[in-house]
Amino acid sequence: MKIAMTEYLRINTENEKWECRVCDHEIASARGNYKEGLLVYDRDPTEIHPPIIDPEKYRFTFSPDPEWVRILEFCCPHCGTQVETEYAVPGHPPLYDMEVDLDALKAQWAARGEAAIPYAGPAVVREDGHGH
């Protein structure tokens, strides 16, 4: 069974792997940290959040301070999809962010049955009222 865990990651309960939902690449063991199977880039945050006021003139510019924070960009080694970002203090070990109890997950989904696509949640629909 394949269980969509995030926008780009699923767990395959048969081979017990984290897989890429975009390209089906096998990323890492589902009993461990999916990040171990991804590529990482240390992004200067000023490239994503550009200065709005002149950095030559001002101390604060709407850009994060690249000596205080970095963006770790994690991507799929096969298709290059950006699976996760982590705003990190320089040198802070990346987080093991989703530590799944795989056996519990299997049991929970065995009772549910596989879902083709995850439910996006209820839509807010406009009610135009009662008309004649």
Partner 1 sequence: MNDMSNSGRGKLPSAEDMALIKKFLNDTTLFLGPDPEIMQNHDLMPRSADEEAAIANASDAHTIAKIRDRIQSGCDEGYEMVEQMGAAPGAKWGDVITGVYSASGDLAIASAGGVLIFSALVHHPIKFIIKNWMNDPTVGVREGDGFIHNDSRYGNVHNTDQSMILPIFHKGRLVCWVASTVHEGENGAIEPGGMPSMAESPSDEGLKMSPFKVVENYQIKRDILTFLQNSVREPKLQYEDMKVKLFACLRIKQRIEETLNTDGPDALVSTLRLTMENVRAEVKRRISEWPDMTVRTYIIQDSTLRENCVVKINCKLTKTGDRLIFDFRGSAPEFTNRATNTIVAGLKGMLAQVFLCYVWPDLPRGQAAFAPIEVITDPHSIVNCSYDAPNSQSLMSIFTGFTAGQHAVAKFLYSCPEKFTKVHAPTFNMINTFIWGGVSQHGETLGNLCADLNGMGAGATVDRDGEHALAPIFATMADIGEQELNEEEVPFLQLVSKKMTRDAVAPGKYRGGQGYTMMVATKDSEQWGFMTTAQGAKIPPLQGLFGGYACGTYPLSKVQGVDVYDVLMNTPEKFKHSIEEIMNEQPFEGASYTTHHMGMGFEISKRGELFMISQGAGAGYGDLLERDPKGVIKDIEEGLMSPAVAARLYKVVFDPETLAIDEAATEAARAAERKARIARSKPYSEFVKAWSKPTPPAHLPYFGAWGDDVSVLYMGSPQKTREAATPRPNYMTHPKDVRIAELEARLAALGAMGGEKQ
**x-or-dash string of contact with partner 1, 18-57, rule CB under 8 A:** -----------------xxxxxxxx--x--xxx-xxx--x
Is 27 a binding residue for Zn ion by CB under 5 A? The answer is no
Judged by CB under 5 A, the stretch of 24-32, 51-59, 64-72, 105-113 that binds Zn ion is 24-32
- DSSP 8-state class, residue 59: S
d(CA 127, CA 15): 46
Judged by CB under 5 A, the stretch of 36-44, 71-79, 92-100, 123-131 that binds Zn ion is 71-79
By three-state DSSP, how is residue 123 classified?
coil
Per CB under 5 A, contacts with Zn ion among 32-61 are none
d(CA 39, CA 113): 32
Residues 6+ apart with CB under 8 A from 109: 1, 3, 13
Q: Of partner 1, Zn ion, none, which one sits near residue 23, judging by CB under 5 to 8 A according to partner kind? A: Zn ion
Q: How far is the CB of 9 from partner 1 (least distance, A)?
A: 8
Is 6 a binding residue for Zn ion by CB under 5 A? The answer is no
The encoded tokens of residue 106 equal 């299997």
- DSSP 8-state class, residue 34: G
